[in-house]
Amino acid sequence: MTIHRQVAWPLAVAAAAAVMVAAVAPALAQSPAIAKAVLKDKSGKEVGEANLTQTKNGVLIRLSVKGIEPGEHAFHVHAVGKCEAPFTSAGGHFNPASHKHGLESAEGAHAGDMPNLHVPQNGDLKVEVFNAMITLAKGQPNSVFDADGSALVIHAKADDNKTDPAGDAGDRIACGVVTE
Ligand code: ZN
């Protein structure tokens, strides 16, 4: 009898652990480790692509653009995953914490605020941008995969990093919905 009990308990524990793993696994699978955005200009022409990777510290964005006007351009995560020219459909900057705009803001920044892009004379740029204020993990308040999604937007002018709410960055020249 004693031997039977010693065998039975570990089996029961193992069975319970297996049930827990089965219950947790689908929830983890729903949060993507990578995401993507194809950026198009107002005429619908593809002008860039971004690959987003979730890291332990934030989201690494590998961006490549083609045929963008040379110079400095603001680059933001916008609050709505909808890119209909002239891209006001993408809403304001992604700002789940209700902060003021700008990487130099004294009251935090928008989660969607990022450094300017510096596009060279040939109009093509490959750059890596790191954003520690956003996540791809669903269910988090700062997730780019919230109810209405998110979009990456490039502006006509540079972001001055302080003017609320949009950094005086001018028109939106390219937009891409963030997708899994
Ligand atoms: Zn902002």
Give the distance (Å) from ligand 1 centre to CA of residue 77: 8
How high is the pLDDT of residue 16? 47
Ligand 1 centre to CA of 112 (Å) is 6
Summarised one tens digit per residue, pLDDT across range 123-171 is 999 999 999 999 999 999 999 999 999 999 999 999 999 999 999 999 9
Rounded-to-integer distance, Cα 71 and Cα 155, Å: 11
pLDDT digits (tens, 9 = 90+) for 26-47: 444 467 899 999 999 999 999 9
Which of 155, 175, 173 has its CA nearest to residue 165? 155
pLDDT band at residue 62 using 50, 70 and 90 as cut-offs? very high
Q: What is the pTM of this model?
A: 0.83
**What pLDDT does 31 receive?**
78
Share of the chain above pLDDT 90, in %: 82
CA of 122 to the centre of ligand 1 (A): 28
Rounded Cα gap, residues 75 and 39, in angstroms: 12
How far is Cα of residue 146 from the mean position of the Cα atoms in its chain? 10
pLDDT-based confidence at residue 17 (cuts at 50, 70, 90): very low
Closest listed residue to residue 111, CA positions, set 84, 136, 128, 83: 136
Ligand 1 centre distance from Cα of residue 111 (Å) = 7
What single letter denotes the amino acid at residue 42? Answer: K
What would the two tokens of residue 91 be?
């809403």
CA–centroid distance, 15 to ligand 1, in Å, is 50
- Determine the pLDDT at residue 2: 44
What residues does 51 pair with on adjacent strands? 36, 62
